[in-house]
Structure 1
Amino acid sequence: MPRAFRSTSLLGVSLLSASVLGVGLLTGCVANDPAATHTAFTVDSSQTACAVSANEAPAGSIRFTVTNSGDQVTEFYLLAADGKRIVGEAENIGPGLSRDLVVQLDAGSYFTACKPGMSGDGVGKAEFTATKTDAAATLNVDLAAQIDTANSNYASYVSDQIDQLVTGTDTFAAAYLAGDFGAARSFYAPTRVHWERVETIAESFGDLDPKLDLREADLEEGQDWTGWHAIEKDLWPADAEAGFEAYSTQKRAALTGLLVADTATLHEKVQGLNFTLSQQTNGAIGLLDEVATGKVTGEEEIWSHTDLWDFQANVDGAQKLYDGVRPILLQTDADLAASLDGEFAALQTMLDAQRVGDGFTLYTDLDPGAIRALADQVNALGEPLNRLTAALVL
C-alpha cells in the first residue's frame, strides 16, 4: 500500500470511476504520434514547492513532466475539484529524476500538489483549470468499440474480485474470531490476493484504504490501527517485537467487525463503476509501483512473509489491465506491445519458479540473489509500462 494522504488531506489512487472524474469514453483519441497532441507542462517538485509551468489548459489530453529537484523521493498529484479525490498521480520520483503523468481531462477545476518524502500533507497545492474547447476528438467506430469493451471488461473484473474478497473476508474473520488461528492463517494470503489485484481501485474511496490495509510502520500519531495487517501481527506473534501481547477477545471482535464492515462498504462503492482508457493504463502503472515499493522489499507482510502472494496479485491486476488495452496498443505502437509482452512473461516466469503448491515461498526464505533478480525484472517491466498511457491516450 502506498503512503497515501490521509482523510482530510490528499488521498491517493491511480484509478477513479468515470462518475467521479467526469471523463467520458470518447473524450480522447488514439493515434500513432500521441505526444503531438498532448498539452505539455513541466512541474518542479522541491522540498518546499510544487511549481507547475502554467495553471490552465484546454480540456483533453495533458502531460505533466515532473522533475524532482529536492533530496527526497516525491510524488505529484492532480486532484479533483474537492481537493481530495485524485484524478492522476506520479509516484516514487527519486531526487534528480523525472516522470510523466498523462491524463485525459474534461473542462473543470482541479488542483495540483506535490508530496516530498511521501508523507504529511504535501506542498504547493494550487488551482488548475481545464477550459472548454471546440476541438472535437474523434474515434473510428471499431476503435471506439474496442475501448468500450476494454472498459466494461475491467469493470466486471473489479466487481468479481471484490465479490470474492467479501466472501473470503467473511470466512477469514469467522475463523480468527473463533480462535481457529491455523485456519485463519491459511485463509489470509489467498483472500488478500483479491484486494491486491484491484488495489488502486480500493484506494480511491476515502479512508477505506488505511482502514483495511494500513501497515504499522505507516501509522501516524493518534491514528487507530485496524484492518488486515493489525490482525496479521496477532496471527504471527513469533515475528512481532519482544514483549508483544496477544490481543484480547474484545479487541479481536472489534477488528473483525470493522474488517467485515469496511469490506462490505468497499463492495457497495465499486458497484456500477465505469472506467476510461487512461484510468486503466495509469492503474497498471500504479499496481507495478505497489510491487516496486512494498512487495519486492518485503515490507508489506512483515509477520506472515506472504509478500509473493501479494506480488503475484499486483502483477495479475496489471496484466489484466494491459491485456484489455493491448489490442489498441498493437495499432498505435506494436514495438511497445512486444516489449511489454516480453517483460510481463519474464516476470511471470520468475514468480512461477517460487511457487510451492497453491502458494509461494515465504519471503524470508528467498535468497538475496532471487530478490535482486525480481527487483531488476520489476524495473525492466516498469520502464515500458510507464510509456503505456502516453502511447494510447491523446
Structure 2
Amino acid sequence: MSRSTVGALALAALVLPLAAGCVSNDDTPSAAGTGAPGRLTVSSTADACAVSATTAPSGTLTFTVKNDGTDVTEFYLLAEDGLRVISEVENVGPGISRDLVVQARPGSYFTACKPGMVGDGIRAPFTVTDSGTEVGPTGDTAAQLKAAETQYVAYVKDQVGALIAGTKAFAEAYKAGDDDTARALYAPTRAHWERVEPVAESFGDLDPLTDAREADLEDGQAWSGWHYIEKDLWQPTAEANGGKEYTPLTDAQRVVAADDLVKYTQQLVDEVNKPGFTFEAFQIANGSKALLDEVANGKVTGEEEIWSHTDLWDFQANVDGARVAYDGLADVVEAADPELAAELESRFTEIDALLAEQGSIEKGFTFYDKLSQDQVKALATAVDALSEPLSRLTATVTGA
C-alpha cells in the first residue's frame, strides 16, 4: 500500500497531476529557484514547510522539494477541503531534492509537508490564479489520451469486479475457520487490488483501511484489512512478534475483520462504477510509476507480506498494472519519444522474464523468504532499471 495520505479522483476537474521528478542527492540549485512564476521551492524540516510563494498562475507548476531535516519527508498538494490529495512526492530522504510537477487549474489548495511521514503534516493555504491559458492537451494527442482513459477505466472495473468476488470467497473461508482455503485465496485475490492500487489510493481512507501494514500504523490507530488477517493466518513466533506471544483472533473478531474487508472492497467497487468515474491520462501515467515505487518500497524488501512471504504475487501484479497503464499511452509515447518507448518495452520484458523464473500468479510463486540474495538483487536491479525511464512517462505524454 502507499505510505501516505490518499485523495479523490473527483479532483480531475481541478488538477491534472503530472509525474514527480527524479531524486537528486546533491545540493545543486534547481531551476525552481529562478523565480519563474510556475516554479517554486519547498524546504521541509521537522517543524516547517517553507514554500517560496503562496500563489502561482494556473498551468504547469513545479515544486522542488528539498528535505532540510533529519527525517524522511513527503510533500503534498491538497484540495480545498484539505483532505483530497492532488499529487505528492514520497520518501524524500534528508538532503535530497525531488520535483513534483502538476498541471493546476485556478482554485484554492493547501501545501503540506509530512516529516517522518506521519500525522496531518505542516500545512498552509495555496492559491492558483487564472493565467488565462488552457490547461491540458489539445488536438490529436487529446483524442489519443481520451481513448487511453476509456480503456483504462474498463480495465479498473474488470479488476475490482474480480477483486470483490475473490474477497468474498476469501472472507467466507476465513470466517468458517477453513484456513487452508483462505491462505490459498489470499495472494491471487490480492493481485487484483495490487494491479489498480493507485486508483484505490485516490478514494479517501480506503487504502489504509484495506491494505495498511502493521508497521505503518500510527499510535492508537485501529488496524483492519488484508494484512491484519494475513498475520492471523500466518501466525508469527514470539521472536518475530516483538518478543510477545501472538494472540489469535477469536471467532467473533474474525467475523468483524472479514466483514470489514468485504465492506471496504465493496466501497471501492461502488466508487469506480459511479457514472462520473474517470481517471485522467496524467493520473494513469503517474499511477504506472507509483506501482513501481510500491515494488521498490515494499515488495523488493520483503516488507509488504511479512507474514505470508507472498510478495512476488504482489510484485507481479504491480508490474502488470504498470504495464497496462503504459500500454494505453504507448502510441503517444512512441510519437513523442521513440527511444523512451523502446527502453520501456525492453525493461518491462526484462522484469517479466525474471518474475517468470519464479512462477506466476496463476500457478504460484516462490515464497520471498526462499529467494537467494542474488535473486533478490537481480529483481531490485530490474526495478531500478524500469523505474528511471518510467519516471519520464507523464512528462512525455503531456509534452511538459
TM-score relative to the length of structure 2:
0.88
Q: With CA pairs under 8 Å and 6+ residues apart, which has the higher RCO, 1 or 2? A: 1
Q: State the shift of 1:250 in Å.
A: 0.6
Identity %: 52
**Aligned equivalents of 1:51, 1:42: Cα separation in 2:** 8
Structure-2 change in CA distance of 1:340 and 1:80 (3 Å) = same
The letter for the 1-side match of 2:102 is: V
Q: Which residue is equivalent to 2:258? A: 256
**Aligned equivalents of 1:85, 1:194: Cα separation in 2:** 24
Q: Which residue is equivalent to 1:180? A: 178
**Aligned equivalents of 2:395, 2:385: Cα separation in 1:** 18
The CA RMSD over aligned residues, in Å, is: 2.3
Q: 1:23 touches 1:104 (CA, 8 Å); kept in 2? A: no
Q: Does 2:278 match 1:287?
A: no
Partner deviation per Cα, 1:337-366 (whole Å, 9 max, x = no partner) = 222222222221211111167121100001
**Aligned equivalents of 1:280, 1:38: Cα separation in 2:** 27
Which shows bigger deviation, 185-194 or 365-374? 365-374
Partner deviation per Cα, 1:186-234 (whole Å, 9 max, x = no partner) = 0000000111111121122222222211111122222221111111111
Structure-2 change in CA distance of 1:101 and 1:48 (3 Å) = same
Partner deviation per Cα, 1:11-68 (whole Å, 9 max, x = no partner) = 235xx42x3331488x99xxxxxx9x99322222223222222222221222222222
Q: Which residue is equivalent to 1:243? A: 245
**Aligned equivalents of 1:138, 1:155: Cα separation in 2:** 19
1:301 is paired with a residue of what secondary structure?
Answer: coil
**Aligned equivalents of 1:163, 1:155: Cα separation in 2:** 12
**Aligned equivalents of 2:124, 2:333: Cα separation in 1:** 34
Unaligned runs of 5+ in 2: 19-31
Q: Which residue is equivalent to 2:214? A: 216
The letter for the 2-side match of 1:233 is: K
- The structure 1 segments of at least 4 consecutive aligned residues displaced by more than 6 Å after TM superposition are none
Q: State the shift of 1:183 in Å.
A: 0.7
Q: 1:24 touches 1:276 (CA, 8 Å); kept in 2? A: no
1:237 is paired with a residue of what secondary structure?
Answer: coil
Q: Does 2:17 match 1:12?
A: no
Q: Which residue is equivalent to 2:381? A: 376
Q: 1:45 touches 1:68 (CA, 8 Å); kept in 2? A: yes
Q: 1:287 touches 1:318 (CA, 8 Å); kept in 2? A: yes
The letter for the 1-side match of 2:56 is: A
Q: 2:2 touches 2:201 (CA, 8 Å); kept in 1? A: no
Structure-2 change in CA distance of 1:238 and 1:217 (3 Å) = closer
Of 182, 187, 190, the residue aligned with 2:188 is 190
Q: Which residue is equivalent to 1:32? A: none
TM-score relative to the length of structure 1:
0.89
**Aligned equivalents of 1:205, 1:281: Cα separation in 2:** 18
The letter for the 1-side match of 2:146 is: D
**Aligned equivalents of 2:125, 2:250: Cα separation in 1:** 48
The letter for the 1-side match of 2:340 is: L
The letter for the 2-side match of 1:267 is: V
Which shows bigger deviation, 47-56 or 297-306? 47-56
**Aligned equivalents of 1:300, 1:358: Cα separation in 2:** 21
1:111 is paired with a residue of what secondary structure?
Answer: strand
2:134 is paired with a residue of what secondary structure?
Answer: coil
Structure-2 change in CA distance of 1:140 and 1:129 (3 Å) = closer
The letter for the 1-side match of 2:252 is: Q
Q: Which residue is equivalent to 1:277? A: 281
Q: Does 2:309 match 1:309?
A: no
**Aligned equivalents of 1:50, 1:207: Cα separation in 2:** 24
Q: 1:103 touches 1:278 (CA, 8 Å); kept in 2? A: no
Q: Which residue is equivalent to 1:115? A: 114
**Aligned equivalents of 1:2, 1:254: Cα separation in 2:** 24
Of 156, 159, 166, the residue aligned with 2:157 is 159
1:1-394 matches, within 5 Å, as 1-4=1-4, 11-12=5-6, 16-17=8-9, 19-23=10-14, 39-123=38-122, 125-136=123-134, 141-238=139-236, 241=241, 243-272=245-274, 273-355=277-359, 358-393=363-398, 394=400
The letter for the 1-side match of 2:215 is: A
The letter for the 2-side match of 1:214 is: A
The letter for the 2-side match of 1:64 is: F
**Aligned equivalents of 2:114, 2:324: Cα separation in 1:** 29
